[in-house]
Amino acid sequence: MPSLSLWDRAVAKRLPLSVDLELTARCNNACRHCYVNRAAGDAAARAREMDYPFLMDLADQAVSLGTLWCLLTGGEPLLREDFAEIYIGLRKKGLLVSVFTNAILVGEKEVELFKAHPPRLVEVSVYGATETTYERVTRTPGSYRAFRKGLDRLLDAGIKVRFKTMAVRSNVAELPEIADFCRQRTSDVYRFDPVLHLRVDGDRVRNEEIRAERLAPAEIVALERSDPERFGALMRNCDSLILPDRAAVGCRHLFYCTAGRAAFGVTWNGRFSLCLSLRGEEALYDLRRGSLRAAWEDFAPRLLDLKSERPEFLARCGGCPIVNLCLWCPAHAYLETGALDEPVEYFCEVAHARSRALQDVLGAGAKEGAS
């Protein structure tokens, strides 16, 4: 038998190997597609953020449960004036720390911090390869030049950088240039995500902006097929993305990913969640009133055992053989519909478009092999 990876063993035993810490919901950009950001100067949000002592106590609890990896995210985590103190404190606990950032606030102080205490990685969001496109997405004048300066500082210092972008209506025409920009600057991972999710705060105006930025399913498939690295990954993993036997099982469980099994998240205001996308009030545990151990060992298992009785869910998502292609999950369903077990038509359309594309390529390959 092949040996199990550390992650697989953790999933089997439900050890929390990884934690995503949302240090703040505030951001210095106002991106059209963002599902969490609040204004950088939002005093009410700032007052509710987890403070340094709380975070250090939380880190002690996480390590005692078996956590190894920690992601610092937001919002924009570098907005925290105590970011360096938090970062060093987490590393002293023995955690392998990564950072998600837009790089705009990366100055000499941040570079020296990362040189003295190297992160596992820094992942930088790239919204455009040109100033016009970048700032069309961020809606923040001057953000492109600041991003380029911060990014250059990281790269010049030899900090390990990965890149990602969101494929949105406002930058779709420039995505090939964005990919070139990123791949020229790192031999590490570059990834893009074309599936946008709605706001955690339910803001109707912002949700309409997000919907306007979504690409049509056919556009998403065309984009993925045009990128050999992306489509190649889909092809290599199609045996785990398309599961014909699943239709016969008719599973009623809502959660089937690794969230809550080997990983968890903590929101900017101190709520435990199976993942940071899951924001329904009934799916959050207030860590200011209870322990992380209680959240992990009692609250999380009860969530993971949730089952649906909704006929539409059971008929569609519950036995869908291509559910892994649509990225449907209870978290995203809640953001879209207010229910954890509601099908989402847009995700479904994307999944079927991806499935048809994969089947077309697999069918063409089979014909070539037979000729």
Average pLDDT estimate for 4-19:
79
The span from the CA of 138 to the CA of 310, in Å, is: 39
What is residue 1's predicted lDDT score, i.e. its pLDDT? Answer: 42
Average pLDDT estimate for 171-188:
94
The lowest-confidence range among 136-140, 288-292, 353-357 is 353-357
| pLDDT, mean over the chain | 91
Average pLDDT estimate for 132-157:
98
What is residue 367's predicted lDDT score, i.e. its pLDDT? Answer: 53
Average pLDDT estimate for 172-184:
96
CA angle 142, 138, 156 (to 5 degrees): 60
pLDDT band at 371 (very low <50, low <70, confident <90, very high): low
pLDDT band at 326 (very low <50, low <70, confident <90, very high): confident
pLDDT at 60 over 70: yes
pLDDT at 264 over 50: yes
What is residue 13's predicted lDDT score, i.e. its pLDDT? Answer: 78
The span from the CA of 220 to the CA of 21, in Å, is: 30
Residue 31: left (phi > 0), alpha (psi -120 to 50), or beta?
beta
% of the chain with per-residue pLDDT over 90: 74
The domains located in the chain, with CATH, are 6-215 (3.20.20.70), 226-254+307-371 (no CATH)
- End-to-end C-alpha distance for the chain, whole angstroms: 36
What is residue 218's predicted lDDT score, i.e. its pLDDT? Answer: 95
What is residue 9's predicted lDDT score, i.e. its pLDDT? Answer: 76
Q: What is the pLDDT of residues 348-362, one digit of tens each?
A: 999 999 999 988 887
**What does DSSP say about strands 190-193 and 121-125: parallel, antiparallel, or unpaired?**
unpaired
Q: Which residue has the higher pLDDT, 328 or 205?
A: 205
* pTM score: 0.92
Q: Which residue has the higher pLDDT, 161 or 228?
A: 161
3-state secondary structure of 370: helix
Q: What is the pLDDT of residues 79-135, one digit of tens each?
A: 999 999 999 999 999 999 999 999 999 999 999 999 999 999 999 999 999 999 999
